[in-house]
Amino acid sequence: MRKQFFVKFLFIALCLMGFTSYASDKENATEESGKDLKTEIKEYIQHHLQDSHDFSLFSYTKENGEHKYVGFPLPIILWDNGLKVFSSSKFHHGEEIAEVDGNHYKLYHSKIYKTDAHGAINYDEEHHPTNAKPLDFSITKNVVMIFITGLLMLWLFTSLAKSYSKNNGVPTGAGRFFEPIVLYIRDDIARPNIGEKRYKKYMPFLLTIFFFIWFLNIFGLTPLGINVTGNIAITFSLAIMTFLITNFTGTKDYWMHQFDPLGKSLPWYGKILLYIILVPIELLGLIIKPFSLLIRLYANMQAGHIVLMSLIGLMFIFKSWLGSPLSFLLAFAISLIEILVALLQAYIFTMLSALYFGFASEEHEHEHEHEAELSH
């Protein structure tokens, strides 16, 4: 138990030190640029929450005021009257204009706009950029982490399967840690909610979605600045997959319930008024279910990052022997809670997906048996 606590403490301390060192560097840059500290911290939080076209591990400011980034560039893939492929290093973290085949592109608020050699951005009355935006298929930081997580899961569960085959169904190594989780998802999530008859065909998706969200959430707690599950486009994609699987695997009874929720309990003329209300509600529920999935995961992870970054920012605002340590302790406590939330959000998404799959797999066998008895 002491070793486990020490490992958790060391992990969180390293994460917080990474965040605070980055924030300290931002404070130095603030003093040089003359910006208000609160404004600079707010910009830092917004930058942390956004996706980026390069993978920055950390940054620091030299004695001469030069800002150095430690990381690596990522490929920029644009479609602008043809395919344009170049390195994100041409943008130099948004500070320079990239020239490709006679065209000029500028990175502005994490989006790429077509511009002139001077990098001019035009605005409308509501201060929205009006520059042309090429189709962006770039490999961003979030995409890189999705690839890394996918490869990690492939290696992990391939190794787990091999250990099963070599040791007559007994896992070894890391498999001893992951086997109870797999069994829990099967026995306490899939079977009770979907049913013994149909749960197996949904198990690959449920296991994948659980570990995928969990691993990404844990990566999001590191100082690497990865906020994949706090990106609404990612959570939208995960929710859409649950939505498609639910509706494409739905049974006849499931769809009958959507369009005929009252069944044979009332005559047709008694149903008309109720159907005007019930059927739209049932169909609206098809959309509300995936929407609740994506908003719940997105909002919880986004809020956790905002709270943690805000507490760390307070350390540099207070600059006192009482306020700064108190902010650090609060940030440490929130980090402990975030580790639990990372697992909890993966569990909730998986549980709700299993519930929706259970609704789609419903069969009214008792009605068929009753009809068979009447025929005899």
Angle between helix axes 268-318 and 323-360 (nearest 10 degrees) is 160
Supply the pLDDT for residue 324: 73
Tens digits of residue pLDDT in 132-182 = 889 989 998 899 999 999 999 999 888 888 888 887 777 777 778 888 899
Count how many residues are written for the chain: 376
Residue 376 CB neighbour total at 10 angstroms: 4
b (16+ CB within 10 A) / e for 339-357: bebbeebbbbbbbbbbbbb
The better pLDDT of the pair 328, 240 is held by 240
Q: Read off the DSSP letter of residue 123.
A: B
The predicted pLDDT at position 39 comes to: 75
The two most distant CA atoms of the chain are separated, in Å, by 94
Contacts of 306 (CB under 8 A, 6+ apart): 45, 49
Supply φ then ψ for residue 221, to 5 degrees.
-90, -5
Whether the CB-CB separation of 346 and 153 falls below 8 Å is answered with no
Q: What is 203-248 written as a DSSP string?
A: HHHHHHHHHHHHHHHHHTTSTT---STT-HHHHHHHHHHHHHHHHH
- pLDDT tens by residue, 175-207: 788 888 999 999 999 999 998 888 999 999 999
**Dihedrals φ, ψ of 260, to 5°?**
-140, 65
Tokens 């399967």, residue located? 161
75, 84 contact by CB (below 8 A): no
- Does pLDDT of 22 surpass 50? no
Distance CA(269)–CA(284), nearest Å, equals 24
Structure tokens at 200: 């197996």
Q: List residues bridging with 136 in a β-sheet.
A: 78
Strand, coil or helix: what is 112?
A: strand
Tokens of 354: 């299993």
Q: What is the pTM of this model?
A: 0.80
Name the band, by pLDDT with cuts 50, 70 and 90, for residue 66.
Answer: low
Q: At what angle do helices 203-219 and 323-360 cross, to 10 degrees?
A: 170
